[in-house]
Structure 1
Amino acid sequence: MNVYDLMDKYSKTNLILRKYRNSSMKYEELIRKSDALASYIIKRFDNNKMPIVVCGHKEHLMLVCFLSCTKSGHAYIPVDSSMSKERIKYIVENSNSKLIFNISDNKLHLDNIDIKNCAEIETIINSHATMIPDKIYRVQDEDIHYIICTSGSTGKPKGVKTTSNCLKSFVNWALTLWDYSEGTHYVFMNQAPFSFDLSVMDLYLSLYTGSTLFSIDNQMISNMKELFSYLKSSDINIWVSTPSFAEMCLTDINFNNNLLPRLKVMLFCGEVLTNNCVQKLQNRFKYISIINLYGPTEATVAVTAIKIDTELSSNVNPLPVGYIKNDCKLFIVEKNNSVLNNDEDCLEFNGVSYRILPEGEKGEIIISGKSVSPGYFNNNEISKNVFSKRIINGIENRYYKTEDEGYIKDNLLYYCGRIDSQIKLDGLRIELENIANSLREIEFIENAVVLPVKKENKLQYLAAVVTLNKVLLKKDFEVGLVIKEKLKNLLSNYMIPRKIIIKEHLPMTINGKINRRLLTEELK
Structure 2
Amino acid sequence: MKLLHHIRNIAHNQPHTIAYITPNQEITYGELWDQSERVAAFIKTQTLEKQLPILLYGHMDVSLVVSFLGSVKAGHPYIPVDISIPAERINHIITSAKPGLIINTTNQLLPCNDCNVRTIAFEQILVDLPATGPVDQSNWVKGNDNFYIIYTSGSTGTPKGVQISVNNLQSFLNWMVEDFPINGQLIFLNQAPYSFDLSVMDLYPALMTGGTLFAVTKEMIEKPKFLFEELRRSNAHVWTSTPSFAQMCLMDPSFNEDLLPELSVFLFCGEVLPPGICQQLMTRFPRAKCFNTYGPTEATVAVTSIEISNEIMKDCPTLPIGKPKQDTQILLLDENGNLVSNGEKGEIIIVGPGVSKGYLGQPELTDKAFFTYKGEQAYRTGDAGFMDSRGHLFYQGRIDFQIKLHGYRMELEEIEYQLSQSPFVQSALVIPIDSGEKIEYLLAAIIPAKHTFEKEYQLTSAIKKDLSRMIPAYMIPRKFTYFNELPMTANGKMDRKRIKELVLL
How far residue 46 of structure 1 moved from its aligned partner, in angstroms, is 5.5
In the alignment, which of 446, 450, 457 is matched to residue 430 of structure 2?
450
Corresponding residue of 1:151? 153
C-alpha separation between the residues in 2 aligned to 1:385 and 1:39?
39
Name the SS of the counterpart of 1:175 in structure 2.
helix
Answering whether residue 117 of structure 2 is matched by residue 113 of structure 1, we say yes
Contact 2:181 2:265 in 1 (8 A): no
Contact 1:435 1:495 in 2 (8 A): yes
Corresponding residue of 1:34? 36
Corresponding residue of 2:141? 139
C-alpha separation between the residues in 2 aligned to 1:504 and 1:40?
49
How far residue 125 of structure 1 moved from its aligned partner, in angstroms, is 3.7
C-alpha separation between the residues in 1 aligned to 2:9 and 2:55?
28
How far residue 138 of structure 1 moved from its aligned partner, in angstroms, is 0.5
Normalised to the residue count of structure 2, the TM-score between the two structures is: 0.96
How far residue 478 of structure 1 moved from its aligned partner, in angstroms, is 1.3
How far residue 177 of structure 1 moved from its aligned partner, in angstroms, is 3.5
Misfit runs of 4+, over 6 Å: none
Name the SS of the counterpart of 2:79 in structure 1.
strand
Corresponding residue of 1:340? none
CA change 1:44–1:428 in 2 (3 A) is same
One-letter identity of the residue aligned with 2:489? T
Deviations 1:354-380 (A, max 9, x none): 222122111211111011000000111
Deviations 1:295-343 (A, max 9, x none): 000000000000001222233111001111111111111222xxxxxxx
Corresponding residue of 1:441? 421
Corresponding residue of 1:188? 188
Contact 1:53 1:76 in 2 (8 A): yes
Map 1:370-449 to 2 at 5 A. 370-390=353-373, 392=374, 396-409=375-388, 410-449=390-429
Contact 1:368 1:397 in 2 (8 A): yes
Deviations 1:104-139 (A, max 9, x none): 23323543210011332222341xx12211111100
Deviations 1:140-167 (A, max 9, x none): 1111000000012222210000011111
In the alignment, which of 70, 73, 76 is matched to residue 75 of structure 2?
73
How far residue 200 of structure 1 moved from its aligned partner, in angstroms, is 0.3
Contact 1:33 1:125 in 2 (8 A): no
In the alignment, which of 480, 493, 507 is matched to residue 487 of structure 2?
507
Corresponding residue of 1:165? 167
C-alpha separation between the residues in 2 aligned to 1:30 and 1:414?
40
Answering whether residue 62 of structure 2 is matched by residue 82 of structure 1, we say no
CA change 1:34–1:492 in 2 (3 A) is same
Instruction: Select between 70-79 and 22-31 the one with higher mean Cα deviation.
Output: 22-31
C-alpha separation between the residues in 2 aligned to 1:316 and 1:363?
19
C-alpha separation between the residues in 1 aligned to 2:503 and 2:182?
46
C-alpha separation between the residues in 2 aligned to 1:369 and 1:405?
19
C-alpha separation between the residues in 2 aligned to 1:3 and 1:233?
28
Contact 1:37 1:124 in 2 (8 A): no
Normalised to the residue count of structure 1, the TM-score between the two structures is: 0.93
Deviations 1:455-475 (A, max 9, x none): 123100111112223243332
Instruction: Select between 439-448 and 200-209 the one with higher mean Cα deviation.
Output: 439-448
One-letter identity of the residue aligned with 1:405? A
Deviations 1:442-501 (A, max 9, x none): 123112111111112310011111222324333222101110011111111111111122
How far residue 178 of structure 1 moved from its aligned partner, in angstroms, is 3.0
How far residue 522 of structure 1 moved from its aligned partner, in angstroms, is 2.3
In the alignment, which of 53, 57, 60 is matched to residue 59 of structure 2?
57
- Cα root mean square deviation, aligned: 1.4
One-letter identity of the residue aligned with 1:267? L
One-letter identity of the residue aligned with 1:20? T
CA change 1:456–1:93 in 2 (3 A) is closer
C-alpha separation between the residues in 1 aligned to 2:122 and 2:40?
16
Name the SS of the counterpart of 1:376 in structure 2.
coil
Contact 1:81 1:106 in 2 (8 A): no
Number of aligned residues: 499
C-alpha separation between the residues in 1 aligned to 2:125 and 2:46?
14
Name the SS of the counterpart of 2:46 in structure 1.
helix
Aligned sequence identity (%): 40
One-letter identity of the residue aligned with 1:155? G
One-letter identity of the residue aligned with 2:69? L
Deviations 1:186-222 (A, max 9, x none): 0000000011000000001101101000001111101
Contact 1:98 1:112 in 2 (8 A): no
One-letter identity of the residue aligned with 1:295? G
C-alpha separation between the residues in 2 aligned to 1:55 and 1:429?
42
Map 1:472-483 to 2 at 5 A. 472-483=452-463
Corresponding residue of 2:311? 311
How far residue 47 of structure 1 moved from its aligned partner, in angstroms, is 5.0
Answering whether residue 153 of structure 2 is matched by residue 174 of structure 1, we say no
Contact 2:48 2:100 in 1 (8 A): no
One-letter identity of the residue aligned with 1:401? R
Contact 2:424 2:463 in 1 (8 A): no
Name the SS of the counterpart of 2:334 in structure 1.
strand
Contact 1:445 1:469 in 2 (8 A): yes
C-alpha separation between the residues in 2 aligned to 1:219 and 1:46?
35
How far residue 180 of structure 1 moved from its aligned partner, in angstroms, is 4.4
Compare the two structures and name the one with the higher strand fraction: 1
Contact 2:40 2:73 in 1 (8 A): yes
CA change 1:405–1:124 in 2 (3 A) is farther
Contact 1:462 1:499 in 2 (8 A): yes
Map 1:183-222 to 2 at 5 A. 184-222=184-222
C-alpha separation between the residues in 2 aligned to 1:489 and 1:37?
61
How far residue 185 of structure 1 moved from its aligned partner, in angstroms, is 1.4
Contact 1:453 1:523 in 2 (8 A): no
C-alpha separation between the residues in 2 aligned to 1:293 and 1:322?
7
